[in-house]
Amino acid sequence: MTRWGIPLLVAFAFAGLPAALAPTPPAALAHPEPGDVDGDGVRDEVDNCAQVKNADQTDADGDGLGDRCDEDADGDGVPNSIPRLGGPDNCPLAANADQADEDGDGFGDLCDIDTDLDGVQDPLDNCPAIHNPDQADYDFDRTGDVCDPDDDDDGEFDAVDNCPLVYNYDQVDRDGDGLGAACDPDDTPPAGPPPPPPPAGSAPPDLAAPTVRIAMPRKLRLRELGRSIAVKVRCSEQCTLRAELRVKRRKVAAGRAALGGRGTTYVFMRKLRRLRPARATLRLTGADAAGNVAKATRRISLRR
């Protein structure tokens, strides 16, 4: 058995259909619900056609075998193959061994009725109890869309399927809008949440570096220097300052200072080594309370 019924019966049932309309039965259900092999919403242990979709569970002759998988659904001795899709019985769901058909329309007198008044005789109606004159059957499973619990036959029932008319057994929904990626024209994942606003009354973050300036002569006389050099520095805000004096890449003096607010201070570069006349480079680094760094450089001429 396959989910479409006994193979020989399937072949007989579709023999009279045009090639374009005859569906190709899948080898197996791609995404079966647990305990419901045919995906019709009825659990296997109580399903009277466990491998053929028949949500209505109709059993015309009461033999325990559902009409959709019963070779003689009405038990009148005239085989009907798959109900409603051909076979010699002109009333496949009503016992009429005589096959009487007074008007010769192909429907036996006993079943020549249209229960739901949709213009389609019950033996050929894919939803005989629900009005559906268009007989729409999206997945070609012989159960009309209006009475089919899984219209796209992907194993997810329409009530919870995020693309009820597009086969998408994985139910992927990248943007989380409830519409599956297979039928969502814009399934782009949403951008991350915006950063939280700063607390009310708080100042914006400080991203600007301070302004530091060196205010000292460009020429120094060695005989006037003691064991340190005082570097006059101006800073535009609270600063931590560091100064270095280098001669030919060799550090000859260094010092640090802190300025509590905008203004001027002195950085004393101590431990001054014995120097000779030369050209030196003074490098100054200032950092504010937020960690923003500014640098300044000055060429110094050391003379006798």
293-303/219-221 β-pairing: parallel
C-alpha span between 166 and 138 (Å, rounded): 9
Q: Show the tokens assigned to 123.
A: 């033996």
Q: What is the token pair recorded at 126?
A: 């894919």
What is the rounded distance in angstroms from the CA atom of residue 78 to the CA atom of residue 14? 19
Instruction: Give the CA distances from residue 93 to residues 39, 71, 76, 84, in Å, rounded to whole numbers and listed in that order.
Output: 23, 11, 9, 9
pLDDT-derived band at 81, boundaries 50, 70, 90: low
Per-residue pLDDT tens over the stretch 266-298? 888 876 767 788 899 999 999 999 999 999 999
- What is the average pLDDT value for the chain, to the nearest integer? 80
CA distances (Å), origin 47, targets 59, 64, 65, 119, 194: 11, 10, 9, 30, 52
Q: Report domain 212-303's class.
A: mainly beta
pLDDT at 129 over 90: no
- Domain 1-158 matches domain 212-303 at the CATH topology level: no
Query: pLDDT tens across 207-242, in order?
Result: 899 999 998 888 888 877 777 788 899 999 999 999
Is CATH 4.10.1080.10 what the domain over 1-158 is classified as, yes or no?
Answer: yes
Question: Domain spans of the chain?
Answer: 1-158, 212-303
Both tokens assigned to 248: 């030919």
pLDDT digits (tens, 9 = 90+) for 180-210: 889 998 888 877 777 787 777 777 888 899 9
Of the candidates 299, 298, 248, the residue with the CA atom closest to the CA atom of residue 275: 248
pLDDT of residue 273: 65
pLDDT digits (tens, 9 = 90+) for 8-61: 333 333 344 333 333 434 333 445 567 888 888 889 899 999 888 888 898 888
Give the span between the Cα atoms of 138 and 223, in whole angstroms: 102
pLDDT in tens, 157-170: 888 899 998 888 88
In this prediction, residue 158 carries a pLDDT of: 87
